[in-house]
Amino acid sequence: MNILFDDNMPYAADFFSGLGKAKAFCAGQINGDDLARCEALLVRSTTKVDAKLIESAPNLEYVATATAGFNHIDIQALRQRSIKWYAAGGCNARAVAEYVTCGLFKLSVKHDFDLLSKSVGIVGVGNVGSALSSMLQSIGMKVVEYDPPRAQRDEHFESAPFDDVLKCDVISLHVPLVTQGDFPTLHMFNKQILNRLYPDQILINACRGEVLSNADLLECFEQNAHSMPRLILDCWEGEPCIDKRLLPYLSFATAHIAGHSLEGKANGTEMVYRDLCRHLNISPSLDLRQFLPKFDSNIAFEPVLQSTSNEQGVLTIVSKVIDCMYDIENDDSFFRRYMAKSDSFSEIRRNYPVRREWHAARIPLDHVQGNKKAAAILEKLGFSLTNDSRCA
């Protein structure tokens, strides 16, 4: 089988070379001759698999994206050619949940509020929303879940009223882009909804840019910025050419990288590999654990040795440990500097540095000595605590 795979899929050559003649391509630069011979096309979201591309691949029989979303794939065009397709749903759910949680802890320290007393409205309770809900509830936060489509297909799930979500201290968006049907999400958060929010709230979009109307958002900020909630924006309308006028109003701004942990991206590769094996009636022989590097033990987790029972002190400790793994402020700062000189953020995404998920780390217990509350929260967030000081 002739296989073309995006060169930004971690470990793709390792996974696919045993399934046929596998060749890498750079997004936006697929060779026409390669495409003409291609039987399996494996992409990420930067490659639009539209009718024109499909027409240029007469031998194509299988398409997969190593991403959870698949708006970049023309499903109807694939069906017309009877081409099988697959999307790696849930591959980066943990990464996005960590990104959102990191942003919340950072804001709680920055603005001196007790995060664990806040309520969180999760809009969309699929793979990502469920992961976030589980994470936040495990540390004691109140979560309100809103997902009417899931409630229709899952008798065990009850969706809260949308009005209850809008009253939450934090609102985090995790829905796919849906333009038709009973529950469209295109501009779900428009001027009318934004005007119902208040300054102490936090609004986060880490799903699809079009779910939050960027034009309405800018208009609301320009008209009355003091009445607007704090914003964390990872997904933008018009990517990769975004409206940079929003940047001064945002608490944190990033280049659609919430799910870009090494594990999140590599999970997508492995999931595509396993589905392609099913398509070829081959038993999978490879596992992601064979390829993931050992966690860099040189990362210095800052010891926080003072004892405190103060809730904000505990949150500060947790935030500092999280920062050692991933500091959203660093991404925000780099993004603002880069976008001041550029009209596109594609290169930021393509060259995004390695970020590991929290479960990869093992933190010496003496780093949280005297802080049992902080240690308990860290474990519930997925960190492993160890008596081995050599892990520092």
- Measure the CA–CA gap between 139 and 231, rounded to whole angstroms: 23
d(C-alpha 225, C-alpha 217), whole Å: 10
- Measured CA to CA, the distance from residue 320 to residue 196 in angstroms comes to 33
Cis peptide before 161 (omega within 30 of 0): no
The answer to whether 208 is a known catalytic residue is yes
Q: Is 390 a catalytic residue?
A: no
Tokens for 89, please give them: 């749903």
Q: How far apart are CA 55 and CA 369, in angstroms?
A: 62
Parallel, antiparallel, or unpaired for β 362-364 and 142-146?
A: unpaired
Catalytic option among 256, 260, 274, 349: 256
The beta strand positions in 128-214, using DSSP E, are: 142-146, 170-173, 202-205
Going by C-alpha positions, the residue among 303, 318, 328 that lies closest to residue 375 is 318
Q: Which of 98, 145, 237, 239 is catalytic?
A: 239
How far apart CA 40 and CA 299 sit, in angstroms, is 39
Rounded-to-5 percentages of helix, strand, coil across the chain: 45, 15, 40
For the beta carbon of residue 76, count every other beta carbon within 10 angstroms: 8
Question: Is 239 part of the annotated catalytic residue set?
Answer: yes
Of 44, 94, 187, 208, the catalytic one is 208
Say if CB 87 and CB 137 are below 8 A apart.
Answer: no
DSSP state of 287: -
Active site residue ranges: 208, 239, 256
